Structure formats: C-alpha cells, structure tokens
Amino acid sequence: MFRRVIIVAGVALWAAFCASSAAADVDAARTGSGQGADRGSIVLKAGKIYADPSRIIEGGEVLIEDGKIVAVGKEVTAPEGARVIDRPNGTVTAGLIDANSTAGFTRRTDRAEHEFECIAHLRVIDMIDLGHRAFERLASAGVTTVYVSADSASVIGAQGAVVQTGGPSDQRVVREAYGVKATIGREPIYKGSRSRTPRRRGTTYLTRRPTTRMGLVWVFRKSFHDAQTFARGSKPGSRGAGSPVDEAIPYLQAILRGDIPLRIQARAQLDILTAIRVTDEFGIPFVLEDATDANRCVDELRERKIPVIFGPLFDYPSGLRRGGGEANRYRYSTPSVLLNAGVTMALSANDLTGEAALPQQAMYAMRFGLTRRQALAAVTTTPAALLEIQDIAGSVAEGRPANLVVWSGEPFDVTTRADVVVIGGCIVKECPARSSAAGKKGTGGSGDQGIEGASDGWWKARLRGVSGDLDRL
Amino acid sequence: MSRQTGTIVAALVATWAAGFTPPVEGGDRPFAVRAKAYVDRDGSVVNGATLIVKDGKVSAIGSDVRVPAGCFVLDRPDATICPGFVDPHVTLGAMGRTGEAANSIETEADAAELFNRYHHDFDRAVRAGVTTVLLTPRSSHLVGGRTVAVKTAGETTLTRIVGPGPIKLSLAPAAFTTARPPTSLQGGLARLRGMIAAARADRNDEGAFAKWARGEAVAIVDTIEAAELGSLARLVADERVKCVALHGNYAAERLSDIKLTGQPVILGTYEFTDSLRFTRTPVILQREGVGFALTSNAPRYGPELLRIGAAIAMAQGLDAAAAHAALTTTPAEIIGVQDRVGSLEVGKDADFILMDGQSLDLTSRIIEVFVDGRRVYRADTREAGGTSRSPDGAAGRVN
C-alpha cells in the first residue's frame, strides 16, 4: 500500500518497533523518559570531569536541574530525590559538536534547490527531518549539537541550521538559520540537475553555468558583484541566467557586510586556493569546510586566519568524495599539521554517524598527533566558537543547557564509548554501569566483561528513543 | 478521423454507462426506513431505528419516531443504517490525467473540470458504501489546485457536485523533480511563503489559494514521509495557515508536529499487509486526542479499503465510535461539507447505507445504498442455495 521505498527506508526503525511492540515495554519507555520524567534533578558523578579542555576536575560531580547545569565541582549538594548516576571509572565532557553535518536530509534527489545556482535565501531547516535516525545515531555516539550544512549541489547554497540531536522537542532547534554555504569544486557541476549544453537558443536553469570550475567561479563572482552593485544603488548590466535571484540579494549583501558568516566547502588544494582568491576580491571572511587538502595550503590559511572545519578522516574516500579526484590526497596527520601551524581547526564527521561519528574522528586525530586536550577542543569549544554558540555549548559550566556525555573511560580512547548522553537535561542514552570488577576506581579502567550488558543497555537506550515523540508511542 | 472515433467511443461509453446506472428509486415521495439500529452522529449505535426521508433530506431519525399514516415504509428488521462514507482524497471518476505537467504551481486548476459523472469507478464506490468523495488534483504539484466534493451517485452533474473543497498542496517527493522548479522542499516552502505574502497583500484576491493564505480556508497537504510533517508544522507555525496533513503515515511518530497543525489528519490507505508501524497510527492519535479521517486513495486502491482500513485500525484497538467518525464526520468536516453529509441528522442529505449486520463488521454486507433519498444500489441477495433473503422479500408496505 505505502510505496515500497518508504517501507525500505523505515526498515531499521521498524526493527526497533518490533522489539518494543509489547505493550509493557512501550509503557515503560513512555513513562521512563521524554519531556517529563527525566528532566528532574540528575547528579552525574565521574572519575574526571573535563569542564573544558583546559579545566579538569578529578573526581567531580555535575548537578543538573530543569535541563540546565546548576553546579560543577568536587562535590555538589544534591536535592532530595535527585537521580544519581555514578561512574567512578568514567569521564564527563560537554556534548560533542559537529560543525558540518548532513544529518536530517532524507531525500536523495532534492537536497538543494536547482532552480537557482545561488539560493542563499533558502533555509535548510525547512527540509530536514528532525526525527531522522541519523540524529539518534549521533546522539548515541555522544554528539549532542550539529550544524546541518546545506547541500553542495549549489554554488552558493542555503542557510544551515544549528540543532540538537535529541532532547526536548521544543528545544531541538538552536538556530533556525545560521551561515550560508558555498561550494567550490566538482559537486555544483555534477550533482543534482546536471547543467547541459543548450540545444536551442536560450538558457534555462538546466543549461546555465556552471559546467566547469571556470563557470562556477563566474557564478560566485557574479552573485557578489550583483549584490555589491545593488548595494551601491545601481543596477548590474546583465541579469541573465546564473545571476542571483532578487530574493537572494539581501542575504548576499549581509554576507558582504559580515552579518551572515560564509562557509565554503573546498577539498582539493586548487579549490581551496580559488576560494581564498575570490573571497579576497570581495573581502569576505569565511570558514573552510571539508578541506581534505588543507595540509597543502597551511601558510595561506594561517596568514588569513581562515578557520577550518576539517573532516572526515577516512581510510579511503567513499560516496561523492570518491569520484572526481578531489579527495585522493588525504592525510591522517592533517589535523595536527593545521593545529601546529596555528590554524583554528574543528573536527567534523560530516555524513558519518554512529560509531564512525566525531569520537572516532577525534580518536584518529589523536593517533596521528593531537593531544587529548587538542582533540577535545576540536570537537567542543572550537566548533562552538565557530558557530557562535560558545555561551551555551561546548563546555561544562553553570547555567548552560545540560548537554553532557559520560564516557566509559578517557574520551576518544579506542576502548571508550559514550555510556550516558544527556541533552537538554533529558537522558537520551544510558548504558548500565560496568560491573565493579571491571577495574579499580580511577579512570581508564575498561574491563572486557560487560559485553552482554552493553548490548542490553544499547537496546534499552534505543527503546527510550531520542526524539520526544517516539518515546510516547 | 480521431474526432470521429472519439465521438463514437464517447457515445458507446455513455450508452454503456447508462445501461449500468444503478436503479433510481425513492423519488420525491416521503418514505420511512425501519431497521434494527442506526449510527448516530457521535458514532454510537442506537438500537431501534426509524428514518424518515423527505425531498432527499432526513426529515426525522430516532428510535421512537412515529411514521405518518400513508407513508411508504421499508422494513429492514436485521439491518443497520449507517451514514454514507466520505472519502476525503480520491482521484476517482476523473477524466484523464489529474495533474498539469508543465508547472508545479497550479492555483487556478479546478478538479471540478475533471469530474466525469459517468465514470464506472463511481459504481464501485457506491457498492463500497462511499457516497461522497473529494476529487483532488494529484500530488505531483506543489500547488495542485482546487478540489471538489461530489456525490458518487445522482441524476445530474450539478446536483452531484456538493461544493468546492480545500485547496490541494503537496510537499511529497513526487511534487519535486529536477525537470521543473521548484525542485526541492526548501525551494517549495520558500515559494509558498512568497505566495502567501503576496496573497495577503492583495485583499481583493478571492482565489482559493488567497483564501487559504489569509487563514479563511484549509488546505490538504500531501505529507507522505516523516520529513514533510516537520516542514508542514514549521509552515503552519510561521504563517498561521490551516493545513490538513494527507497520508500522515508518520503522524504517530511526529505527534508534536501534528498537534501543532491543530487540524485532523487524513490517514491511509491501510491494507492487511501494512506494518504495525503504520496501522497503529489511528489508535495512537485517538489516545492523543488528534482527529483523523481515513482515505482509500481510490482508484489506485479500491474504495472498499475505506471500510477495511477502519477494521484494520480497530484490530489495533481503535474504538467503534472513532472508526465511524474517521469514515464519516471527520472527513466531512475536513472537506467543509459537514452541513450536508457525514451524519444522519434532520435537514441533512439522506445519504445512507443499509448493512445486514454491524456497521463496522467486515462480514456485514452493504445491501442498499441511498443518495439524496434515492436508492442507487441494491445488492443481489440471492444466496447460493437459491433462496432469497432479499430486502424486497419484505419489500415495503404502506403504513
């Protein structure tokens, strides 16, 4: 009856449903989590609290009330009836932030609007699915906040959004529209409705530029040139296909004024250098996304203080990265090269979720040169600063929304997983504590027992769900 | 040549269709139906039913209604009287394609132009107990156009059109192709927002879209996948427009989005092969206090699936009153024809069906269907053994 596509797409969640179909389970899940029950007081006790990368509290406690962090310290005064989660072997960090994610995109074909090549007036929040399973997978990996970046099919794409991966449904959207993404590289040329050579006279949106990198940069220049011309009060000479549509002009002007941050996705060295060159012409600061070849442009990036949201690190490029030769010269050492050269860098897992998400990126980065503090900064405070949400996310401090992760050991170690994830004061994942025999008190103890327990915990966490609505089924 | 052929074919179709037009009985003479029970407006079943029909309208209904002397009476001592079912989304009975291919936005397209009253699909709908349908443009357009509510039986085209229905929008993947703009959901929403702003600026615009944009009318919005419910909720919250989600398959998983729309949902079509994930939706919505109607999406699926869908939902725990509402009153309210159809009340159209058992029992048979007080369908009630339990056995008598 429903189209097969939908059913196939829903198979995974359906499996979880099967597991939860017994009424008792569902009721337990309903009363056990969601907006109500879990937003009471919670005390997290752990062997170590990374309040921020430079402030570590040994044997500390965090008190959460009404979705906010109320106290952080050696010992907090817990109110009566507070839920205590005690993980003497664990560590606490702020929820991780992925500043360049694709979570929530559900459709294969229409992730970007192809009518115009410059769609700075459109918003990603209008089309992403906040109930998408990618968010659940990210939350269970310890990523609590993501910037959903526009698709790379447009030269100048839509405005992204900052969203929570779980927690109370009325607090999921942190910023409806933040930043505009431009892409310099192969994808605006080949993705989506691929521009063709016009057969007859006249250019439509199917036959306009770009079909080459030259055409792409022409569109980029033309967009900002037209915006500048309008801002001066005059009209550009030509307004044919490839010119920015009227609705987009105010947003382009806001980018020129610096009111809307520009992000540019560029992978190959050539494209990164092109991005630097054309933005120099207009004097636009920008944040570099993806940046596979950033290690080959270190001097330029440092000189112009261009922050980089690097990633993902991968063994071998897959998906769209695989074609086009943009991502063939990847290096695991790039994050440490960038940081050691003084470039601001955040790590990103982009489209990778679950176990492949940010913690694994940080793990690889550490294996290839980053210290733990550097790695922690690259997935918490640095992305928070780049998204201008450093006042509400990225570190564990009083008064902030309670987005926290309790890790089973030192963060980003190979044997460490996210045991407890709290978003907006809701416990969205809780694995049972490993048995006390797992190791003596202190951090880093990761016994090899408890594998069974771990999988039980995982399923219970799944049952509780991440999105508020699912809980209530 | 082709015109000639067309004329001949049309003539043949007309002749053929006329041959199969259900017998029209009843006429303008008042008559009464006595039955075992009837389904009340709130979906409850009232024992002992007397229904009096006059001029095609319900003139009295109840368990203690007196039949005036001289009135013709149909005695159906085993039957249940149920209001005719209302299907809030069909392309049934349409002549040709139901979507303009060239543009994604067709505010002035009107499904009334597609209505072909001789279409044999209507016979099938009548047999399934469906007496009113909303004929809609297809979901391959961001703005598909105006819908029209029509009766599935009746004498003339004009009397069969109940009235214009809500405007039809679609946020479903089918509405977006790379071949014509807007090509994406985000582009579509931006386009809608722009059109809403323009329609609000022009107070003289009396078009269906403008009325919706000003909040004076509802729209039926195809939201077949989960992502679209979120987008719809965002549109409703930002623009304060009234939207009914169509095919809200994921409504139970996106309760906050659905509640935000503040409107009932159109669910379905449900089949026996559907997963629990979808068929549980009605009972969850009932528990959460969200109204819903069912659709058969005919002719893609048979109109019988309206009844079957209700039974499938009841198998998951939906109660009978809510199932009745989903087939009658709620869809009538969504379409905006609740003053005429959807329930058997004094003054409303005498559109009803007689079933030889309980109204929502799938083993019950629809034995007679009345539209505007005229009998438009009568089941062949000869049993395999050759005996007759025909309603005409006790055909009627004068009181």
Is the pLDDT confidence value at A94 over 90? yes
**Burial class (CB within 10 angstroms; exposed 0-12, middle 13-18, buried 19+) of A391:** exposed
Q: Do you find a cis peptide bond into B269, omega within 30 degrees of 0?
A: yes
Which of A7, A129, A247 is the closest to B230 by Cβ? A129
A15 touching chain B per CB within 8 A: no
- Is A123 in the B-facing interface, judged by CB distances under 8 Å? yes
pTM, to two decimals: 0.83
* CB within 8 Å: B224 and A6: yes
Cβ of A172 under 8 Å from any chain B Cβ? no
Strand order in the sheet with B265-267: B85-90, B130-135, B143-151, B161-170, B218-222, B242-246, B265-267, B292-294
Q: Could you report the per-residue pLDDT of B216-275, keeping only the tens digit for each? A: 999 999 999 888 999 999 999 999 999 999 998 899 999 999 999 999 999 989 998 999
Which residue of chain B comes nearest to A123, CA vs CA? Answer: B186
Give the residue from B203, B204, B222 showing the smallest Cα distance to B145.
B222
ipTM computed for the complex = 0.79
- Which ranges constitute the DSSP H helices of A146-205? 187-190
Chain B residues within 8 A of A13 when measuring between CB atoms: 277
CB contact under 8 A, B185 and A119: no
Q: Which residues of chain B have pLDDT under 70?
A: 1-28, 382-399
The rounded mean pLDDT for chain B is 88
A465 part of contact set with chain B, CB < 8 Å: no
Nearest CA distance, B201 vs chain A (angstrom) = 17
Identify which of A263, A321, A274 has the alpha carbon closest to the alpha carbon of residue A297: A274
Chain B interface, best mutation among A17, A21, A27, A115, by max B CB count within 10 A:
A115
Chain B residues lying within 8 Å of A115, measured CB to CB: 181-183, 187
> What are the two backbone dihedrals, phi and then psi, of residue A430, each rounded to the nearest 5 degrees?
-145, 110
How many beta-carbon contacts under 8 Å exist across A and B? Answer: 125
CB contact under 8 A, B187 and A115: yes
Is B271 within 8 Å of A1 when comparing Cβ atoms?
A: yes
Q: Is A395 within 8 Å of A51 (Cβ atoms)?
A: yes
Q: How far is A37 from chain B (nearest CA, A)?
A: 18
- The residue to which tokens 């199969």 are assigned: B20
Minimum-distance CB partner of B190 among A2, A122, A469: A122
Cβ of B275 within 8 Å of Cβ of A13? The answer is no
DSSP A294: G
Class of residue A308 by CB neighbours under 10 A (exposed 0-12, middle 13-18, buried 19+): buried
Q: How confident is the model at residue A454 (pLDDT cuts 50, 70, 90)?
A: very low
Inter-chain residue contact A1 with B252, CB threshold 8 Å: no
Of B190, B230, B275, the CB nearest to A7: B275
Contact with chain B for residue A171, Cβ under 8 A: no
Count of Cβ atoms closer than 10 Å to residue A354 Cβ: 15
The pLDDT, as a whole number, for residue B335 is 95
Contact between B255 and A472 using a beta-carbon 8 Å cutoff = yes
A461 to chain B, minimum CA–CA distance in Å? 17
- Tell me: the pLDDT tens digits for B330-373? 999 999 999 999 999 999 999 999 999 998 999 999 999 999 99
- Predicted confidence (pLDDT) per residue in A147-181, tens digit: 999 999 899 999 999 999 999 988 999 999 999 99
